[in-house]
Homo-oligomer: A and B are copies of this chain.
Amino acid sequence: MIVALAGGVGGAKLAQGLYHVSPPDSLAVIVNTGDDFELFGLRISPDADTVMYTLAGIANPATGWGVVNDTRATLEMLGRYGYELWFQLGDNDFATHIARTAQLRAGDSLTEVTRRLSRALGMRAALLPMCDEGVATLVDTPAGRLAFQDYFVRRRHADPVSGIVLDGIEAATITADAAQAIARATVIVVCPSNPVVSIGPILAVNGYRSALAASSAPRVAISPIVGGKALRGPADQMLAGLGHDVSAFGVAQLYGGLVDGFVIDHADREQAERIGALGMRVLVTDAVMRDEPDRQRLAREVLDFAADIGSSKR
């Protein structure tokens, strides 16, 4: 059983690689829900949907999010009704949010709803929201404290970030499904997602750090920072704004004590020694996933690396 912790597009890429190189039903992806928000009265779970669409094989390859060949008739009509269209939602995507919202309002948990939606799309990995409680990632900027999607999408992550607040985190607890997946895991993979606003919120939910610490499985993280830059999104700016080192090493520091192995790109090979000094084994490889074969190649390398760590950990 492989457990992967993931955020949006970057995490979904490696999760898809893991999904394709491992037996069916052997992968559980625990996904950040701190980015979730309500729009047009509908509950949107951007990271969960990105992983779901990607692993179901219907993601838009041009963007990494949304459904391939989706149309925008519903959104455009909402524009006619006077709504501001700052968040892109396709017609297929609307169905996801309508179904999720209706099922949540009917009293089902987010875990149960996400399971039902992902199974309906034929996804055989377990897709597990980090918690069933509402947690909202807020971003402190010179323009004030912003809701995550406001910062990320509407304002195109252009504001310098001086702090992150996880609203509601005190009341959030690891779900029974996620706890069970981690307890049964033979490999734990922290995907190359934003360490601050994708993996950070998962680790901040009550129960994850202790569950991960209690696991005897090898735990491996992949750096989302290559050559001092984020492969995607504002992780580099965020690390800088929060006073962290903007490097693979900086990310490794954040995961200190939490993972047994750390995967970095050839571009960062000179950081291997410093990362090793944090108490992690280091794998230097091509950590950039350009296409689908890349995702599977990196996934295999991560699993081999983990197996190697596992054999020495026992």
Q: Which residue numbers of A lie inside 8 Å of B, CB to CB?
A: 40-42, 67, 70-71, 73-78, 80-83, 90-92, 94-96, 98-99, 101-102, 105-106, 116-117, 120-121
Asked if A91 contacts B78 (CB within 8 A), the reply is no
Minimum CB distance partner of A121 in chain B:
B80
Asked if A102 contacts B70 (CB within 8 A), the reply is no
Number of copies: 2
- Given A98-B40, A101-B41, the answer on whether A92 and B120 have CB atoms closer than 8 Å is no
- Given A71-B73, A73-B70, A73-B71, the answer on whether A81 and B105 have CB atoms closer than 8 Å is no
Q: Of A40, A90, A91, which is in contact with the most chain B CB atoms at under 10 Å from its CB?
A: A91
Q: Which residues of B contact A99 (CB under 8 A)?
A: 40, 78, 81, 83
Minimum C-beta distance from A157 to chain B (A): 26
- Given A77-B92, A94-B98, A120-B80, the answer on whether A41 and B105 have CB atoms closer than 8 Å is yes
CA distance in complex: A78, B95 (Å) = 5
Minimum C-beta distance from A105 to chain B (A): 6
Minimum CB distance partner of A71 in chain B:
B73
Q: Which residues of B contact A77 (CB under 8 A)?
A: 67, 91-92, 94-96
